[in-house]
A and B are shown apart, each in its own frame.
Chain A
């Protein structure tokens, strides 16, 4: 009787999932619900929230130019950075998925940029690369193009320096791809070699399908995190989102509303709109994944 219960799928499932469920109920649920409540209030942190119904949402959609500006900046950023970053990460992972001497050093070199993340050093560094006397302009000088544009300070190019920064810090996606490649059983390739399949064929017939769950993971997580990107914009533009709001990412604008202008209610409304939009996009990706993701285990989701 007891042993039967012990092996009941529902019981076993909850035993394994227990840490998350408990943690969710204890640590996460209350803050999430509070923020939902704040979004319907006028809350300045100093006085208790006062109910205003949909006013925050209304203002956001009808009476806030900057809000829409930040939406477009964010969409630009997501659409450009996610594919570039994933493609670059996959390419480098394929190149580094070898067992030859010194490969560990190469892998480290490619991962290193991701380790300096959001420190102050990065913001100064990025000025050194994209500033008026930066590396990029020196490199252009070699090709006879003399310019002292500041790529960071120019409203037309500032966002691209952030996109470059995000592509440059592609290490985490690369690492996940590497681990995924490692998980593909070697005998699949051996069998394919015997059948006379060439490298390109092997890539499309074995590597891509077997890696597809990992690609799905990276696609979803990179999309979510691109929508929520804050740190690079914050440190490179000193928290301003300038010049001319060209790097005013959604999260940066939300942060300013919450912690510079003390409009927590408005910020919470922004956050929930973001949650819904990103949620829908994620759902769409999940739905399409049935067409292209190959799971070894059947009967799942």
Chain B
């Protein structure tokens, strides 16, 4: 009865992994199908994966947005916020992570503790003072409260990259030091290429988290022509109005496209990144 490893690697693997994958993406299929259903079918035939007619019009009415601001504007805003944030978050986090992971200095434990603490405090209670602070900075109604803090390191990414640096043998640093490399040189020439998978992982997360974040834009941006997609999607629905569910689903589907592309492109670097063994020689 035992199947040979060969059979497993050829078919069994695909059957198992592929089957599970179908289960995983069922909801996505459902979302896409719903975006093509006429408005009144979304609830009456919610279980069905086959719409009676293909209602491409959902994409038209959805894209139209709200009173003159089309989803073109919202996508543009999202891209500006997300790209700047991601660059800022990944670069600064990598620097800090190297400092925390490899350089023993006075007060390191204290600052590391501060960093972990910021991860643990529920955000709801810092919203108010933060808002007052940014209003004192005169930063409201701009992208600054969303983007600038990202350039000072994100605890999640710092810790993530730290743990990756710690999996890299310390003799690599030592060898470089003997060759006359400064700590700065070690970081830029040796460490960065080695932690590409971690950096790409951080980039994927940063891109997605900023993309889907609506609470900060909600608080800091008042004017709909500055809204990102995440916030615009929330404008569709209301308990006391007639709702454009089709448009909401259509735009939800569309908003998945950039994050999916980013993931698909970047995941290759995670797995096909430069392997450590190549550098050992």
Contacts and interface: CB of A to CB of B under 8 A. Distances in A.
B227 interface: no
A22 B111 CA distance: 11
Interface string B197-221: 1101100110010001000000000
Interface of B: 13, 16-18, 20-22, 24-28, 30-31, 34, 46-47, 92, 95-96, 98-106, 108-109, 111, 114-122, 124-126, 128-130, 133, 149, 151-153, 155-156, 158-160, 163-170, 173, 182-184, 187, 194, 197-198, 200-201, 204-205, 208, 212, 233-234, 237, 248-249, 252, 256, 259-260, 263-264, 267-268, 270-273, 275-277, 280
Contact of A113 (B13, B27, B198, B267): B27
A184 B26 CA distance: 33
Interface in A14-39: 14-17, 19-24, 26-28, 30-32, 34-35, 38-39
A175 B204 contact: yes
Contacts of B118: 24, 28, 32
A202 interface: no
A296 B166 contact: yes
Contacts of B260: 108, 112, 115
Contacts of A297: 101-102, 165-166, 168-170, 173
Nearest to A295: B166
Interface in A229-286: 251, 254-255, 258-259, 264, 267-268, 270-272, 274-275, 278-279, 282
Nearest to A21: B111
A199 B272 CA distance: 22
Q: Which 6 A-B residue pairs are closest in the complex by CB-CB distance?
A: A23-B152, A13-B105, A16-B99, A297-B170, A34-B129, A31-B126
B46 A128 contact: yes
Contacts of A208: none
Contacts of B208: 114-115, 117
A183 interface: yes
B106 A10 contact: yes
A213 B163 contact: yes
15 contacts: A17-B111, A23-B153, A32-B126, A119-B212, A119-B233, A179-B201, A182-B273, A183-B164, A213-B164, A217-B163, A220-B159, A251-B122, A254-B122, A271-B125, A296-B169
Interface residues of A, number: 108
Given A108-B260, A271-B121, A296-B170, A185 B28 contact: no
A125 interface: yes
Given A182-B273, A264-B128, 13 more contacts: A17-B105, A20-B158, A22-B152, A96-B17, A104-B268, A106-B18, A128-B46, A133-B47, A258-B125, A275-B121, A296-B168, A297-B102, A300-B166
B24 A109 contact: yes
Contacts of B163: 213-214, 216-217
Given A115-B263, A282-B116, A297-B166, A125 B31 contact: yes
Contacts of B92: 19-20, 23
B96 A16 contact: yes
The SS class assigned to the A binding surface is: helix
Contacts of B20: 92, 110
A226 to B, nearest CB: 12
Interface of A: 6-7, 9-17, 19-24, 26-28, 30-32, 34-35, 38-39, 45, 92, 95-97, 99, 103-104, 106-122, 124-125, 127-129, 133-135, 138, 168, 172, 175-176, 178-180, 182-187, 210-211, 213-214, 216-217, 220-221, 224, 227-228, 251, 254-255, 258-259, 264, 267-268, 270-272, 274-275, 278-279, 282, 295-301
